[in-house]
């Protein structure tokens, strides 16, 4: 199982909010004063955004940073719980 990366979860939360608001990358990047390409990379989890950048993006989305961090924490906690559940292996059948 692939480990969950914080940058991917943050990007997912930001993209989901942007799409929910019906806004384009261009609109949010302009409002946040962040390049379009960089914002795209943050949303795709390819770049680790600084706290200042996250705050600017959240302001542009009118979304409290604490909400983003709560979403990320909840998804991370769920992934950790699922990873700790033992895997059930199928019983090997005896040759007939």
Return the pLDDT at 80: 83
CB 43 within 8 Å of CB 14: yes
Name the H helices within the chain: 6-20, 25-32, 36-43, 51-61, 65-84
Q: Does residue 46 lie within any of the structural domains?
A: yes
43 domain-assigned: yes
Cβ neighbours of 75 (radius 10 Å)? 15
Q: Which residue has the higher pLDDT, 78 or 1?
A: 78
**How many structural domains does the chain have?**
1
Say if 95 falls within a structural domain: no
Query: Mind listing the pLDDT tens digit for each residue in 82-92?
Result: 878 776 676 76
Asked whether residue 22 is assigned to any structural domain, the reply reads yes
Domain range holding 56? 6-79
Q: What is the pLDDT of residues 5-62, one digit of tens each?
A: 899 999 999 999 999 999 999 999 999 999 999 999 999 999 999 999 999 999 999 9
In a domain, 31, yes or no: yes
pLDDT of residue 94: 62
Whether residue 1 has pLDDT greater than 60: no
- Whether 88 maps to a domain, the answer reads no
Can you give the CATH number for the domain in which 44 is found?
A: 1.10.260.40
CB-side neighbour CA atoms (13 Å) of 83:
10
């Amino acid at each position: 199982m692939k480990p969950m990366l914080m940058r991917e979860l943050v990007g997912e939360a930001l993209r989901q909010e942007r799409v929910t608001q019906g806004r384009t990358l261009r609109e949010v990047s302009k409002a946040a004063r962040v390049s379009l390409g960089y914002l795209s990379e943050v949303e795709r989890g390819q770049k680790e955004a600084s706290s200042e950048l996250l705050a600017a993006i959240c302001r542009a989305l009118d979304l409290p940073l604490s909400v983003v961090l709560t979403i990320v924490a909840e998804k991370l906690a769920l992934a950790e719980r699922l990873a700790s559940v033992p895997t059930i292996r199928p019983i090997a059948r005896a040759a007939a």
